[in-house]
Structure 1
Amino acid sequence: MSKEHGADARPVLLIRTISFSFALLLLIALGVFAARMWQTTDVLSKQGSRGNEVRQIQQKLKNWGYYFGEVDGIFGVQTKKAVMDFQRKNGLAVDGIAGNATLRAMGIYSSQQTSGSGGYSDSDIALLANIISAEARGEPFEGQVAVGAVVLNRVEHPSFPDTLPGVVYQPGAFTAITDGQINVAVAESARKAAREALAGSDPSGGALYYYNPDKTSNKWIRTRPVIKRIGAHLFCS
């Protein structure tokens, strides 16, 4: 009797095992599909995309004068043109697709992009070194750290964008963006200065601006209260 019962049980057990394996494979496949869909939605917006990320892109571009349509979360022809204009202006690949590099330049982040020192991603840290090198090449090390500190001070100040790429790429904020110096090879001292600034060093004394009085013709910047001078730069509030 026990043999017959055992023989009857084996097919049932096999069916249950196959069913469980199939269900497990289906769950894995659904998980992979969902992850890919999530990644596409969060870190790659292009013509035809819809959602909150597209609204953020449109709002940023509208604020900066690139986009003049409705902030409706629909990535249409106008949004694509605005993205391309932004990419062209900021030295990015001009493809009309808001991929990782373009989103970082706009100061838009997904959870996949944030890691690193003090809440800054590795790309943020590299960008800080780039702007220090471009803006303070040839300056004493203290002056390079001070330039990095000014960038970080702006991130924390309510009058400026609240992300590091947003501050760096804010239209008209840094001459290195407009004259292409941001794309020149980064000096090793600038990388070290970026790390010092991110660690909390601020030789600028809390400055939000700096300028070279021998080179600037900007009358407004000359009205700012000067905190100190380091090298060729005056740092001011």
Structure 2
Amino acid sequence: MFKKFKGIKVAVFSAAAFFTIGAAAQAQSTHTVENDESLWSIAKDYGVAVEELKSLNNTSSAAVNPGEQITVPQSISENEKDLLARVVHSEAKGEPYAGKVAVATVVLNRVESDEFPNTINDVVYEVSPTGNYAFEPVTNGSINNPADSEARKAVQEALAFEGQGNGSLFFYNPATASNHWIATREETIQIGDHVFAK
């Protein structure tokens, strides 16, 4: 899915991993394909995974035809999208757009990992073994600031990317990280000032 991103190198997209939002498959709607649309653009607009669209519509192709009816699963809630966008905005302000997508993907990957809580809210507000919040914006209160449009767009991209990538569960800035344990994790990619790892 990220392969259709304009201006972003394909290597950037290895920062994500397979994740599925359980509630996404529960409700569905129908979308009538318009000119110049693809499964990728539909997935991005709805905030659902291309791979899920393919599966739900029994196709292995990303090509669609104008007038075709596509079944679209329900995405995560608007509240979850807003929380995720606020995390992205706070954690990745000043980072490249691809890094913002990768930060959102880390949160979504954690939801699907057995090592972390299974909701976006619980992942964002998780307390680490050291007694601190897992995400600095929760600790410093910047999680309460509204997200900008780029952070919201990055969330939609991350949701559409479901089912692809290398499984990033962590990210950190080596120049400011105080916990050196994170550097022992397998690096998946570096984007801007952030190193992503699993």
User: Which TM-score tier does this pair reach, normalised by the shorter chain?
Assistant: 0.5 to 0.7
Residue aligning to 1:198: 159
Cα deviation, residue 201, structure 1: 5.9
Q: 1:121 to 1:192 in 2, by over 3 A?
A: same
Cα deviation, residue 121, structure 1: 1.0
Residue aligning to 1:187: 148
Cα deviation, residue 122, structure 1: 1.0
More helix by percentage = 1
Any stretches of 5+ residues in structure 2 without a counterpart? Answer: 1-26, 29-45, 48-73, 128-132
Opposite residue 168 of structure 2, the aligned amino acid is A
Contact 1:147 1:204 in 2 (8 A): no
3-state SS in 1 of match to 2:138: helix
Q: Deviations over 1:57-94 (max 9, x none)?
A: xxxxxxxxxxxxxxxxxxxxxxxxxxxxxxxxxxxxxx
Residue aligning to 1:56: none
Contact 1:143 1:203 in 2 (8 A): no
Contact 1:145 1:201 in 2 (8 A): no
Contact 1:145 1:203 in 2 (8 A): no
Residue aligning to 2:176: 215
Opposite residue 189 of structure 2, the aligned amino acid is K
Cα deviation, residue 120, structure 1: 1.4
Q: 1:149 to 1:135 in 2, by over 3 A?
A: same
Over aligned residues, Cα RMSD in angstroms? 2.2
**Number of matched residues?**
124
Contact 1:204 1:228 in 2 (8 A): no
Cα deviation, residue 119, structure 1: 4.5
3-state SS in 1 of match to 2:180: coil
Residue aligning to 1:146: 102
Tell me the distance in 2 between the aligned counterparts of 1:138 and 1:202: 27
Residue aligning to 2:63: none
Residue aligning to 1:229: 190
Query: How high is the sequence identity, in percent, across the aligned residues?
Result: 44
More strand by percentage = 2
- Stretch deviating more after TM superposition (221-230 or 115-124): 115-124
Contact 2:82 2:147 in 1 (8 A): no
- Say which one has the larger Rg: 1
Tell me the distance in 1 between the aligned counterparts of 2:89 and 2:151: 5
Q: Where does 1:99-118 land on structure 2 (aligned, <5 Å)?
A: 118=74
Residue aligning to 2:136: 175
Tell me the distance in 1 between the aligned counterparts of 2:191 and 2:167: 13
Q: Where does 1:30-45 land on structure 2 (aligned, <5 Å)?
A: none
